[in-house]
């Protein structure tokens, strides 16, 4: 019987863990040729043996391998310990014999733990291409029996394999690293590694031709690695070494715009067609760049780019792509024909989100006008954004790979996380990687440092960060912090880190290691997305069967849409109150120790079974109401607001929803185009929906993308019955007045955020001391910040979020200072009318409604119109009762 499973774990040089009867006699059988099988109670294939004896897992081993604590511990007999390195370069099988000597159990062996132990020195080895004049290549392949370098000629001949030469590589037995040096003429040539290794999947020793996991450049479509020196002038745009960065900001002051490279310019007619959808679109004076510069002038600090590393799903040469051949714009707004046409070319078109990595440290070639110029053009993009006043964040995806085809052939069974039976885990969507293993974790850290140092990237967003160990993300932070301007040209401490701290899959609840999740990262300074505020503002959750569940920003506060999913009037009132508390905690930066007026801490306010408050500092929260995942904010409101809601009111609710992000403590995160009412025609997962459903339209006369047809069937068909009538309603397609109004109000919010330290108090202590939530009516949230001694102009800032369809009156006398250090509230006698006024940005707003917001001297109340967020400032005297 072929042994296709691997249920035993060789966790270090001394110990094997296996769910097996401990009373049996156990061995590790190995063969450098492979061919071991289990047949009629015997192991065939002539294996050699490593004896095992019963033992116990130490405390350290239990902590390191928590999912194996119930396994039988078997210790390698000291007499056979010297065989481990040899055994690992072939097939390894765990077997158990009964008293008669019959093999009654046998399985393959998972080997990452023992590799990390035996080859620990590799953790500090320089891997991949190095050198400035004389190139060196190094590959970690400790289980390989032979590794050779295949070096190819330049140009198109590399694809045919002509001009290939093969060069021997030398193995360092202590680290398992194979290396080779070459002459300077090697620079610029393509290469691969020929790795001869036992393959458990094939059951034999094979020779794989593989690219370099540390590649710095690749041939088009990633078919070969390319040997380059990133410091060479040929890879730098003019002025690259003198690129001036916009000033760094602390993470709690960052405002981030999530943008896809192709979305940015694919529909921009102000750009030559050959540059649309490319890195170079960021280096031109186009409609898109003019808008980014305007956003930066309003206060935007960062652009977050969806994956721009080398990914698998877009042909890198334009000639190899196919685009939809239909006149999509001529089809009815509620038709299903657009998505049919887009689907026909989806596998070969120019669009994909890119969450399917091939080479982690190489720029994606489809975004270059010529994939051979990807490095220079990527750098030109970074420089262009920097000139616009914006720092650059990369979306990185180290938790999985497009397939096992790049990493696994080099060290089979190592780089990908294996399940109990030895199969590759796919809970992320694809082949999960295993950054808990030393050398996968090293690859993550080394890759990030390369992007920061050589591409001047200012921040990293980790996809599915909860699938990383906390220790891995902290190692990244430590490596970045070591970068200095004097030594590396980069201030690594200014680089921001955040990610998706979700808790699911085979690693959930710290099953294999302490994860980099929301709760676990408290106190690290690393940000995570705060989905509680998102859901409370929008209503419901991303996976609701009925998308009409309402929230604070979508009509729950007085504008019911009649959907049964919203429950009874009493249930709606209760949900509105619960949502309001989740939003209040979100406005604090999701602080776990902040106490609301109800007396409950943020950690006690629950959202989907997890605490809405989970951070130790506001900069650890990334606050948002939409992102590339799920419907855009405009589309969510189109589902949730009553269908007859006028467009002006839809704009107001869009702005109010965005205000909960922009005026919160912590990092403000906005999906590109939400400030322009961007729609994807209800597409909830547009990763492969082509340019058509992902349009980002800078020309308001072209609309906002709504009414592009029913969204693609594969991800959205269940919601077509809700979407069809709405898409056919012309009143839901905004014109220039609505789009420009939303953009103007968003710019005002950014200017308000950056006009005062009230929205960036910095520490939990300052938030608890200065920020309070006065009692307010249902559907209204009021936030008061005491800025005395902090803001040179104003002694207080008060924000009223009125989500109701009626004007509200907020009593000033009800406002309190939090007084958390004493565990009590203190009354605040706020100043008379001359000392409270509408924020000057809103006083000069182009929105006549917000300008109606005022302080009523007679009643000492703030008057705020319906569906409006109003910001008031106090000045002139310090407020009695405020805590200094």
CB 424 within 8 A of CB 490: no
Half-sphere exposure of 219 (CA within 13 A, CB side): 19
Alpha-carbon distance of 149 to 456, in angstroms, equals 31
Alpha-carbon distance of 216 to 135, in angstroms, equals 13
- The number of angstroms, rounded, from the C-alpha of 357 to the middle of its chain's C-alpha atoms is 13
Handedness of CA 462, 467, 470, 476 (dihedral sign): negative
Q: In 3D, which of 541, 542, 532, 508 has the Cα closest to residue 580?
A: 532
Half-sphere exposure of 265 (CA within 13 A, CB side): 26
Q: Order of strands across the sheet with 796-802? A: 771-772, 780-786, 796-802, 868-874, 836-838
Q: State yes or no: is 500 an active-site residue.
A: yes
CB 787 within 8 A of CB 700: no
Please enumerate in sequence order all residues whose Cβ is within 8 A of that of 103, keeping only pairs 6 or more positions apart, or say none.
38, 41, 42, 43, 95, 96, 97
Alpha-carbon distance of 572 to 707, in angstroms, equals 30
Alpha-carbon distance of 543 to 651, in angstroms, equals 25
* CA dist list (Å): 705 to 260, 327, 353, 718, 738: 16, 15, 18, 21, 14
DSSP classification of residue 832? -
Ramachandran sector of residue 247 (left: φ over 0; alpha: ψ -120 to 50; beta: rest): beta
- The number of angstroms, rounded, from the C-alpha of 95 to the middle of its chain's C-alpha atoms is 42
DSSP classification of residue 32? T
Alpha-carbon distance of 545 to 541, in angstroms, equals 9
Radius of gyration of the chain from Cα atoms? 29
Alpha-carbon distance of 844 to 574, in angstroms, equals 37
Pairing of strands 165-168, 204-210: unpaired
- The number of residues making up the chain comes to 884
Number of H helices, E strands in the chain: 21, 42
* CA dist list (Å): 825 to 42, 119, 256, 599, 765: 76, 59, 34, 10, 15
Alpha-carbon distance of 795 to 301, in angstroms, equals 26
Helix (H) or strand (E) holding 76, with range, is strand 72-76
Which residue is catalytic, options 500, 620, 786, 847? 500
Alpha-carbon distance of 253 to 229, in angstroms, equals 36
Alpha-carbon distance of 128 to 125, in angstroms, equals 10
**Helix-strand-coil split of the chain, %, nearest 5:** 35, 25, 45
Alpha-carbon distance of 765 to 558, in angstroms, equals 35
Q: What are phi and psi of 710, to 5 degrees?
A: -60, 140
Give me 457's structure tokens.
């990237």
CB 125 within 8 A of CB 138: yes
Alpha-carbon distance of 510 to 185, in angstroms, equals 49
Give me 574's structure tokens.
């209760």
Give me 141's structure tokens.
């392949």
Which residues does residue 299 pair with via DSSP β-bridges, in sequence order?
none
Q: State yes or no: is 463 an active-site residue.
A: yes
Which residue is catalytic, options 463, 581, 631, 683? 463
Residue 102: count of CB within 10 angstroms of its CB: 11
CB 41 within 8 A of CB 90: no
Could you give the residue numbers annotated as active site? 463, 500
């Amino acid at each position: 019987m072929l042994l296709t499973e691997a249920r035993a774990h060789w966790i270090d040089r001394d110990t094997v863990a296996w769910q097996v009867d401990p009373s049996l006699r156990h061995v590790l059988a190995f063969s450098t040729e492979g061919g071991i099988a289990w047949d009629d109670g015997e192991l065939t294939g002539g294996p050699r043996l490593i004896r095992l004896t019963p033992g116990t897992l130490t405390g350290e081993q239990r902590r390191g391998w928590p999912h194996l604590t119930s396994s039988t511990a078997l210790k390698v007999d000291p007499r056979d310990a010297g065989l481990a390195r040899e055994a690992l370069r072939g097939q390894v099988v765990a077997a158990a014999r009964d008293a008669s000597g019959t093999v009654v159990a046998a399985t393959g062996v998972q080997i990452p733990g023992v590799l990390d132990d035996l080859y620990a020195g590799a953790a500090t080895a320089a891997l991949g291409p190095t050198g400035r004049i004389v190139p060196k290549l190094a590959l970690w392949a400790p289980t390989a029996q032979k590794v050779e370098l295949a070096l190819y000629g330049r140009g198109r001949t590399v694809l045919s394999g002509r001009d290939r030469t093969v060069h021997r590589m030398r193995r360092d037995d202590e680290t398992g690293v194979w290396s080779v040096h070459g002459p300077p003429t090697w620079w610029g040539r393509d290469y691969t590694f020929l790795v001869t290794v036992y393959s458990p999947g094939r059951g034999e020793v094979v020779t794989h031709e593989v690219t370099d996991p540390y590649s710095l450049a690749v041939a088009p479509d990633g078919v070969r690695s390319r040997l380059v020196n990133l410091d060479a002038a040929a890879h730098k745009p003019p002025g690259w070494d003198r690129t001036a960065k916009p000033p760094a900001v602390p993470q709690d002051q960052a405002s981030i715009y999530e943008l896809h490279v192709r979305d940015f310019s694919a529909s921009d007619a102000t750009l030559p067609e050959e540059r649309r959808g490319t890195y170079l679109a960021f280096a031109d004076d186009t409609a898109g760049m003019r808008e980014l510069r305007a956003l930066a002038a309003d206060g935007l600090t960062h652009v977050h780019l969806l994956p721009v590393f080398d990914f698998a799903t877009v042909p890198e040469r334009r000639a190899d792509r196919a685009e939809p051949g239909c006149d999509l714009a001529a089809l009815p707004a509620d038709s299903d024909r657009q998505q049919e046409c887009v689907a026909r070319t989806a596998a070969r078109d120019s669009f994909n989100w890119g969450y399917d990595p091939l080479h982690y440290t190489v720029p994606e070639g489809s975004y270059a006008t010529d994939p051979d110029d990807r490095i220079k053009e990527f750098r030109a993009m970074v420089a262009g954004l920097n000139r616009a006043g914006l720092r650059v964040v990369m979306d990185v995806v180290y938790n999985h790979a497009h397939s096992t085809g790049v990493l696994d052939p080099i060290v089979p069974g190592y780089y990908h996380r294996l399940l109990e039976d030895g199969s590759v885990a796919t809970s992320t969507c694809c082949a999960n990687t295993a950054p808990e293993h030393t050398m996968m974790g090293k690859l993550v850290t080394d890759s990030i440092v390369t992007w920061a140092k050589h591409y001047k990237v200012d921040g990293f967003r980790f996809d599915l960060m909860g699938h990383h160990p906390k220790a891995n993300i902290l190692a990244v932070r430590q490596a970045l912090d070591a970068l200095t301007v004097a030594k590396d040209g980069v201030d690594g401490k200014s680089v921001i880190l955040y990610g998706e701290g979700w808790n699911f899959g085979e690693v959930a609840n710290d099953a294999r290691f302490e994860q980099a999740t929301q709760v676990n990262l408290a106190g690290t300074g690393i940000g995570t997305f705060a989905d509680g505020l998102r859901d409370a503002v929008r209503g419901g959750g991303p996976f609701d069967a009925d998308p009409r569940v309402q929230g604070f920003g979508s009509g729950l506060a007085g504008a019911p849409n009649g959907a049964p999913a919203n429950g009874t009037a009493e249930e709606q009132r209760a949900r509105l109150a619960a949502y309001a508390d989740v939003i209040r905690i979100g406005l604090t930066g999701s602080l776990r120790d902040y106490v609301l007026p109800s007396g409950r801490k943020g950690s006690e306010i629950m959202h989907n079974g997890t605490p809405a408050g989970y951070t130790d500092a506001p900069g650890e929260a990334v606050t948002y109401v939409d992102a590339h995942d799920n419907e855009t904010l405009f589309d969510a409101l189109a589902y949730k607001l009553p269908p007859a809601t006028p467009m002006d009111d839809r704009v107001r609710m869009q702005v109010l929803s965005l205000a909960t992000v922009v005026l919160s403590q912590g990092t403000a995160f906005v999906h590109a185009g939400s400030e322009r009412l961007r729609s994807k025609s209800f597409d909830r997962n547009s990763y492969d929906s082509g340019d058509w459903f992902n349009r980002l339209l800078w020309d308001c006369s072209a609309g906002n993308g709504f009414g592009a047809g029913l969204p693609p069937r594969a991800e959205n068909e269940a919601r077509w019955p809700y979407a069809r009538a709405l898409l056919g309603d012309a009143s839901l397609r905004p014109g220039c007045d609505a789009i420009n109004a939303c953009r103007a109000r968003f710019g005002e919010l950014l200017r308000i955020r950056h006009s005062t330290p009230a929205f960036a108090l910095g520490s939990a202590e300052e938030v608890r001391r200065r920020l309070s939530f006065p009692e307010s009516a249902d559907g209204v949230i009021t936030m008061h910040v005491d800025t005395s001694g902090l803001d040179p102009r104003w002694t207080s800032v008060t924000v009223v979020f009125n989500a109701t369809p009626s004007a509200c009156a907020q009593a000033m006398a009800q406002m309190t200072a939090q007084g958390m250090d004493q565990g009590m509230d203190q009354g605040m006698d706020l100043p008379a009318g001359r000392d409270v006024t509408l924020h000057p940005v809103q006083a000069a707003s182009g929105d006549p409604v917000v300008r109606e917001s005022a302080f009523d001297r007679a009643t000492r109340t703030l008057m705020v119109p319906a569906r409006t967020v109003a910001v008031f400032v106090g000045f002139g005297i310090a407020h009695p009762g405020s805590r200094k």
